[in-house]
Amino acid sequence: MSHVIAIDGPAGAGKSTIARSLADRLGYTYVDTGAMYRAIALWAIRETIVLTEGYRLEQLALAASIELLPQRQVRLNGEDVSSAIREPEVAVAASRIAAIGAVRAALVAKQRLMADTASIVMEGRDIGTVVFPDARVKIFLDADPFERVRRRIGEQPDVPPEKLAAQIAERDDRDRHRAESPLIQAPDAFYLNSTGLSEEEVEEEILKIVRARISNGKEH
C-alpha cells in the first residue's frame, strides 16, 4: 500500500530541501511539483506562447512528458532541462501559468498517477488541499519573511536582497489570492514554522508526525 506525504507552504520555506531529504530517509519517491510547472513554463517560453493563452498552455500541459529523476534531474519530452527550468524568467512564468485552472488540472492528473505505483513525498502549494486531500500526512511548512529571503540569498547570491524580497512578496500574494487552488493550510495539516530550526530539526519534527500517523494506520 502506497502512502502520500503532502508538504505545502510559501516560497522559501524550505519545502524542496526537506521533501527530498525526507523521501531519501523513508525510501519514498520525491515529487517536485514546482519543477513540473517550470517545465511547462519553459516549453511555453520556447514556443513564444503568451502566458494568458490558457487553451494553448493547457495543450502543452496535457502533451508534456515530464520525468522527475534523482539528483533534481528533470526531463521534458526526453530532454534534460534541469538547469534551464531554474532560470529566474522561467520561475516567474511558472508562477503565472500555475494560476490557470486547466494547466493545474492537467498536471494534477499526472501527479496523482505518480502515487499509484509508489509511496511519495510531494511538495507544492495545494498538495494537501487539492491534489491529495486524503493524504495520510499533511504538513504546512512556513518561515517568517526575513528567513525566507535569507535562504533565497543563499540560493541566488547574485540577485540583490531587495529584489528577492519583492519577488517572494509578489509570489506570496499571487499564490494566496489566485482563484484556482490558492495557497492555504489544509484543516487537518500540521503547521510547522521552520524559522530558527536546522534542516535536521525540521526533518525530525516531520518524521515524528509521519511515524505517528502511519504507524497508527490513520488516513488523512
Domains and CATH numbers, the chain: 1-28+118-220 (3.40.50.300), 33-117 (3.40.50.300)
CB atoms within 10 A of CB 160: 10
Cell 492528473 -> residue: 109
Look at residue 46 and tell me whether its pLDDT is greater than 90: yes
pLDDT at 216: 57
CA 157 to chain CA centroid, nearest Å: 22
Mean pLDDT of 33-59: 96
* 131, 112 Cβ separation under 8 angstroms: yes
Report the interhelical angle of 33-46 vs 88-97 (nearest 10°): 100
64 φ/ψ angles, rounded to the nearest 5 degrees: -65, 135
pLDDT at 84: 97
Q: What is the grid cell recorded at 33?
A: 511539483
The string of pLDDT tens digits covering residues 131-157 is: 999 998 999 999 999 999 998 888 888
Q: Tell which residue, 80, 68, 84, has the closest CA to residue 19.
A: 68
The whole-angstrom separation of Cα 79 and Cα 46 is 13
Q: What is the grid cell recorded at 212?
A: 505517528
Those residues whose C-beta lies under 8 Å from the C-beta of residue 3, and which sit 6 or more positions away, are 28, 119, 120, 136, 137, 214
pLDDT at 220: 37
Mean pLDDT of 182-199: 94
